[in-house]
């Protein structure tokens, strides 16, 4: 039974039993506590917690999920995958334990010809929370399970919570027994791979707070409604129904594994370590494909970092399988073909996805080459010193700076006959992970508890009138101070205010929040920010500037019209720039993010190389031609499917409802899904002036522009500068570039000649410095300050020449002021080094006196600092150190 068929049987069954079928949400969640949709329940959290009224009493879905906390287990067990699909059925105050158990058992054990999944009851086991007698008794009454195959387990396995304040409750899990060939007898309590968990039924009935750990918290009471949250792992059902040993061999994953086998020339099933690598490749390629189909792009932070890590683990695994060259073109195409039946977007958007994938692969292959050079140098240095082990710090530097995997480092080092101090490396990694976990815990603690908005949201959605109004009369529904509902707020307080209607735009879709005020009888509020803390609710962060404001009072929201107009110009200009980029670069130049505020726009788009000056000029001209043509700007509200059929572009990773707002500028030329606020005709934008273009990742570029009056002021300022230059240089403006280039070349020539004169002047001091030698034990020491120098290289060159003049036992320390900072260069000859004089140690001694740092090789080293006046003391410190060594 194919994976897609299993999913469809599931959805058909629950639709037949009165459930609304809900499409999968994006892998990119808008939950601030999460990077990704890590579980099937994530999109339903507002309904489960009661923050937002559920639009249906019961639902079912097949939710895409990404989870990387068990990434090291991928390939080693039959069930761990970073991307997985979670089948779920949900009840929001409708049926509870009895209904959930009845539905699960019927679907699992009904014959395939009757639409069921055809599992034999004798292969199924069940666990319940040890204190949940009700669930235990329902399993006995509703099914033919014998008592011995219903096991009671503790809170660590059979009590569900997110680890944050909110909903929680006991759960019951269904397991499939793969048979004695796969492990020991004894049921799920043995925690053996023989028993595969296939379905978890969560009986969500409590609200918890004071969460000390995932299993240590305080239950404050029952939820307003008892809910059902279930999750059945689609990949786990698939590998059981397809008769294979693990999820990596199912129909949606195995094709990638087979391509990896073909590229490597190795055989799957012969070597455990290679098999794990094949499975890692198959899993991570699919996960990367699905993340990119939801708009995630490789980067060094957040979601992009996770994607980059997955892709680089693929490259590492292929390299360990003996493939050093590029493989993504073949691997990603295989995953596309395996997944497109279930997710057509991976095929329709494959040009963009493959562009990111191939660029990331090329970048990391270059990174591996650079890391290999550094590792080769470390190996050579270790052997030259007679060592047999690469330090853990060096291995960690390769990992942390170059992204060089530790197992690849160990493989190369072992081939060279050396080893790696793995304990030291692991210690450094643990310290880094501890810092990261501490940061994550800190961020999690700072997240607001959205349950405070539940009662306010229950009063209905906030009506936004700002598309057509700059002033709206309403009523204050609630006031929050430090996250707590309060009846009133006095002058000077900063609080959150919830209105029934508002004309003020809440930050979203790249557009920043409106500025403005809220006024009412006897009070005035300055609006500092406007946000949507939960779906459908707008919160205004305000400062009470006069009077006292209370709940249920009349309130009028007033938008700052000048700021709003400039923000509208910027947002509409962003759409023009997007369309101009697609006209110039092609349809793969799609939006990857934006920021619009009054007079300014920033637009990120998928592209792998810098734009030429000619291309930037062309984009700017196309955008301004659209302004000149005074194109009509229209908006329509229609279904998501209708908008997509009309060719509207959506921002990847943005969450859209069933009904969307489509913005056209000039008809289909610029057609995007957008909830922002726009001008009515393009001429109102005024002017678009590109001011910057830069890289924001291996496959992303960013353009910045000023808009309207801000663009005019910038161009006027540049005109004034040009006017001043033409007057000062007595050069026509069309010849300024040539004239400035000539002046720059002349200045460079002059600087070079000055440097030559200074170098000759320093060389002229060579006899004097060599004659200043003094004996310190076995050393012949020159420790002198030479005044100022053009560069540290000049000082180093002079020190080396003095060393040659002094002869055997030479230790030369020369101090100088370079670009306003003190520098000390120390050089030694072989005789002096044999007697214990090490240039690196002496440079550190000098640097300590200068208030800085230093070091280097035993023969040549450099120290520096901030205190030029301390140069004499630094040279005395070098001499004193030599006297101590000679004593």
Q: What is the CATH number of the domain that holds 206?
A: 3.30.930.10
Cβ proximity of 134 and 97 under 8 Å? yes
> And the tokens for 627?
């302004």
- Best CA proximity match to 858, nearest among 879, 885, 835, 877: 835
Q: If you write DSSP's letter for every residue of 448-463 in order, what string do you get?
A: --GGGGHHHHTT-PPE
Is residue 164 in a domain? yes
pLDDT at 35: 86
Give the gyration radius of the chain's Cα atoms: 34
Say what the pLDDT of residue 448 is: 44
In degrees and rounded to multiples of 5, residue 530 shows phi and psi of -135, 125
d(CA 32, CA 602) in angstroms, rounded, equals 23
Q: Tokens representing 529?
A: 């920010």
> Is 202 found in the same domain as 54?
yes
* Whole-number pLDDT of residue 106: 96
Residues 866 and 796 in one domain: yes
Residues 555 and 568 in one domain: no
DSSP string of 397-445?
HHHHHH---HHHHHHHHHHTT-EE-HHHHHHHHHHHHHHHHHHHHHHHH
**CA dihedral of 162, 163, 167, 172, whole degrees rounded to 10:** 60
553 shares its domain with 584: no
Residues of the chain predicted below pLDDT 70 = 32, 401-403, 436-451, 651-657, 698
Domain stops at, among 216, 247, 278? 247
Q: What CATH number is given to the structural domain containing 613?
A: 3.30.980.10
* Nearest partner of 25 among 658, 867, 763, 660, judged by Cα: 658
Residue 439 domain-assigned (yes or no): yes
Chain segment 591-611, per-residue pLDDT in tens: 888 999 999 999 999 887 899
The pLDDT score that the predictor gives to residue 753 is 87
Task: From 559, 589, 608, give the residue that closes a domain.
Answer: 559
CA distances from 836 to 813, 815, 843, 844 (A): 16, 22, 14, 15
What are the beta bridge partners of residue 486?
479
Q: What is the per-residue pLDDT for 445?
A: 40
The torsion region of residue 232 among left (phi > 0), alpha (psi -120 to 50) and beta comes to beta
Task: Give residue-wise pLDDT tens across range 490-526.
Answer: 999 999 999 999 999 999 988 999 999 999 999 999 9
Rounded to 5 degrees, φ, ψ at 270 are -95, -30
The reply to whether 48 and 86 lie within a common domain is: yes
Check whether residue 142 and residue 160 sit in a common domain. Answer: yes
Could you list the beta-strand ranges (E) of 50-165: 58-66, 83-92, 124-129, 150-153, 159-161
328 & 241 share domain: no
Domain range for 812 is 766-886
* pLDDT at site 256: 97
- Give how many domains the chain has, as a whole number: 6
Helices (H), 207-271: 234-241, 254-264
Question: 589 and 544, same structural domain?
Answer: no
65 annotated as ligand-binding: no
Q: How far is the CA of 790 from the CAs of 138, 372, 816, in angstroms?
A: 87, 36, 9
Task: Report the pLDDT value the prediction gives residue 437, as an integer from 0 to 100.
Answer: 57
Q: Is residue 378 included in any domain, yes or no?
A: no
Are β-strands 659-665 and 670-673 bridged in parallel, bridged antiparallel, or unpaired? antiparallel
Which is nearest to 463 in space by CA: 501, 514, 499?
A: 501
Residue 877 contacts by C-beta under 8 Å, 6 or more apart in sequence? 845, 846, 848, 849
Same domain, 793 and 818: yes
Q: DSSP states of 839-869 as a string?
A: HHHHHHHHHHHHTS-EEE-SSEEEEE-S-GG
Question: At 117, is the secondary structure helix, strand, or coil?
Answer: coil
Q: Is residue 520 part of a domain?
A: yes
**Backbone phi, then psi, for 564, in 5-degree steps?**
-60, -45
What is the pTM (predicted TM-score) of this model?
Answer: 0.66
20 in any annotated domain: yes
Does residue 435 sit within a domain? yes
Last residue of a domain, one of 380, 415, 445: 445
Nearest to 538 by CA among 461, 598, 594: 461
Q: In this structure, are 573 and 555 located in the same domain?
A: no
Q: Evaluate the CA torsion angle 137, 62, 52, 31 in order and state its sign.
A: positive
3-state secondary structure 683-714: HHHCCEEEEEEEECCCCEEEEEEEECHHHHHH
3-state SS track over 202-218 = EEEEEEEEEEEECCEEE
The answer to the question of whether 575 is labelled as a binding residue is: yes
Examine the domain organization and report whether 402 and 478 are in the same domain: no
Same structural domain, 640 and 591: yes
Structure-token match 């678009």, residue found: 688
Contact 883, 776 (CB under 8 A): yes
Long-range (24+ apart) CB contacts under 8 A made by 481-485 are 483/448, 483/449, 483/452, 484/452, 485/452, 485/455
Q: Is residue 169 part of a domain?
A: yes
Please report whether residue 516 resides in a domain: yes
């Amino acid at each position: 039974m194919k994976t897609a068929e299993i999913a469809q049987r599931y959805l058909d069954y629950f639709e037949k039993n009165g459930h609304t079928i809900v499409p999968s949400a994006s892998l990119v969640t808008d939950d601030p506590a999460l990077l990704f949709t890590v579980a099937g329940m994530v999109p339903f959290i507002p309904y489960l917690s009661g923050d937002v009224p559920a639009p249906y009493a019961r639902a079912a879905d097949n939710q895409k999920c990404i989870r990387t906390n068990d990434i090291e287990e991928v390939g080693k067990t039959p069930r761990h995958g970073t991307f997985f699909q979670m089948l779920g059925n949900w009840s929001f105050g409708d049926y509870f334990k009895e209904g959930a158990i009845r539905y699960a058992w019927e679907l699992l054990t009904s014959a395939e010809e009757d639409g069921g999944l055809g599992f034999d009851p004798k292969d199924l086991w069940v666990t319940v929370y040890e204190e949940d007698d009700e669930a235990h008794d329902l399993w006995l009454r509703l099914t033919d399970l014998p008592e011995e195959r219903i096991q009671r387990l503790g809170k660590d396995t059979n009590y569900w919570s997110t680890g944050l304040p909110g909903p929680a409750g006991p759960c019951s899990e269904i397991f499939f027994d793969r048979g004695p060939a796969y492990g020991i007898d004894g049921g799920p309590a043995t925690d053996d791979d023989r028993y595969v968990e296939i379905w978890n039924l969560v009986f969500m009935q409590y609200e918890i707070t004071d969460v000390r750990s995932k299993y240590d918290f305080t239950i404050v009471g029952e939820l307003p409604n008892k809910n059902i949250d279930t999750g059945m792992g689609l990949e786990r059902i698939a590998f059981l129904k397809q008769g294979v040993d693990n999820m990596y061999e199912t129909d949606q994953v195995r094709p990638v594994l087979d391509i990896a086998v073909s590229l490597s020339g190795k055989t799957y099933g012969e070597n455990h370590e290679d098999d794990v690598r094949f499975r890692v490749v198959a899993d991570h390629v699919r996960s990367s494909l699905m993340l990119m189909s939801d708009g995630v792009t490789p980067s060094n932070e957040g979601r992009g970092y996770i994607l980059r890590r997955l892709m680089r683990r693929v490259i590492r695994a292929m390299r360990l399988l003996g493939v050093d060259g590029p493989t993504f073109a073949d691997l990603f195409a295989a995953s596309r073909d395996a997944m497109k039946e279930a997710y057509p977007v991976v095929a329709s958007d494959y040009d963009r996805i493959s562009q990111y994938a191939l660029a990331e692969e090329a970048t990391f292959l270059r990174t591996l080459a650079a890391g290999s050079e550094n590792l080769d140098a470390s190996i050579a240095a270790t052997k030259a010193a007679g060592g047999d082990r690469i330090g853990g710090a060096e291995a960690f530097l390769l990992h942390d700076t170059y992204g060089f995997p530790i197992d690849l480092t160990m493989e190369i080092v072992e081939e060279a006959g050396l080893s790696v101090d793995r304990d030291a490396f692991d210690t450094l990694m643990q310290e880094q992970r501890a810092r990261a976990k501490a940061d994550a815990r800190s961020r999690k603690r700072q997240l607001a508890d959205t349950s405070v908005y539940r009662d306010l949201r229950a009063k209905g959605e906030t009506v936004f009138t700002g598309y057509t109004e700059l002033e709206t009369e309403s009523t204050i529904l609630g006031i929050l101070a430090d996250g707590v509902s309060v009846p009133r707020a006095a002058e000077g307080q900063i609080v959150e205010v919830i209105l029934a209607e508002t004309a003020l735009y809440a930050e979203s879709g790249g557009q920043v929040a409106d500025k403005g005020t809220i006024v009412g009888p006897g009070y005035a509020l300055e609006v500092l920010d406007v946000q949507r803390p939960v779906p459908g609710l707008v919160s205004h962060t305000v400062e009470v500037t006069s009077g006292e404001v209370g709940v249920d009072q009349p309130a009028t929201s007033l938008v700052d019209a000048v700021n709003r107009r400039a923000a509208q110009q910027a947002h509409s200009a962003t759409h023009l720039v997007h369309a101009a980029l697609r006209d110039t670069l092609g349809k793969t130049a799609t939006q990857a993010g934006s920021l619009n505020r009054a007079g300014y726009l920033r637009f990120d788009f998928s592209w792998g190389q810098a734009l030429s000056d000619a291309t930037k000029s062309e984009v700017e001209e196309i955008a301004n031609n659209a302004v000149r043509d005074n194109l009509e700007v229209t908006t329509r509200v229609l279904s998501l499917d209708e908008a997509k059929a009309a060719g509207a572009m959506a921002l990847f990773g943005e969450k859209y409802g069933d009904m969307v707002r489509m913005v056209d500028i000039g008809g289909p030329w610029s057609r995007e899904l957008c909830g922002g606020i726009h001008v009515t005709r393009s001429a109102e934008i005024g002017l678009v002036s590109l001011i910057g273009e830069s890289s924001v990742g291996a496959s992303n570029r960013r353009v910045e522009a000023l808009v309207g009056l801000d663009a005019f002021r910038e161009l006027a300022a540049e005109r004034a500068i040009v006017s001043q230059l033409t007057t000062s240089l007595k050069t026509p403006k069309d010849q300024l570039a040539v004239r400035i280039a000539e002046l720059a070349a002349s200045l460079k020539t002059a600087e070079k000649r000055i440097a030559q004169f200074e170098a000759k002047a320093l060389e002229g001091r060579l006899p004097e410095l060599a004659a200043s030698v003094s004996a310190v034990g076995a050393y012949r020491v020159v420790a002198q300050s030479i005044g100022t120098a053009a560069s540290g290289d000049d000082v180093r060159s002079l020190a080396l020449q003095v060393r040659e003049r002094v002869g055997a036992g030479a230790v030369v320390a020369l101090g100088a002021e370079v670009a306003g900072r003190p520098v000390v260069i120390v050089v030694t000859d072989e005789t002096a080094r044999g007697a214990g004089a090490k240039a690196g140690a002496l440079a550190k001694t000098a640097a300590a006196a200068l208030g800085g740092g230093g070091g280097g090789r035993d023969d040549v080293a450099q120290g520096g600092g901030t205190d030029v006046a301390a140069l004499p003391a630094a040279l005395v410190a070098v001499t004193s150190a030599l006297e101590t060594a000679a004593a």
